[in-house]
Amino acid sequence: MNKSINSIVSKAVEVYNKYRALEAEAEVLKISGNKIIVKFKGSFCVTCGVNDWVEDFKYVLEDLNVDSELERIHGNEKFRIGVFRVKRRG
């Protein structure tokens, strides 16, 4: 994707971490084509609703006018990887 999506995703990580950093922290691993791969780590990993923390990133992207879909979550008790597909940018 072009620089525009890179800067939007960077802003999304900034916003996500600003409000969730005590429990979860996002880090972009890769942006390729319409895929965004984000690593999530933090104390959230010991909660039963761990996938909700990953799904929240989709809503931060929506607030920045990026329509995305969470395609897959994988990881372990220390981190989760979320794979998002950009459907449309506003």
Q: What does the pLDDT read at residue 88?
A: 81
Whether residue 73 has pLDDT greater than 60 = yes
- Order of strands, edge to edge, in the sheet holding 35-41? 25-32, 35-41, 79-89, 66-75
Least confident of 43-47, 50-54, 67-71, 81-85: 43-47
Taking each helix axis from N to C end, the angle separating 3-20 and 50-63, rounded to the nearest 10 degrees, works out to 130
Q: What is the pTM of this model?
A: 0.88
Positive or negative: CA dihedral 56, 16, 73, 71: positive
pLDDT in tens, 15-46: 999 999 888 999 999 999 999 999 999 887 66
Q: Give bridge partners of residue 85 from the DSSP assignment.
A: 35, 69
Structural domains of the chain in order of their starting residue, each with its CATH number: 3-89 (3.30.70.990)
CB neighbour burial string for 10-20, b if at least 16 within 10 angstroms, e if fewer = eebbebbeeeb
Residue 75, both tokens: 């990881």
Residue 71, both tokens: 């395609």
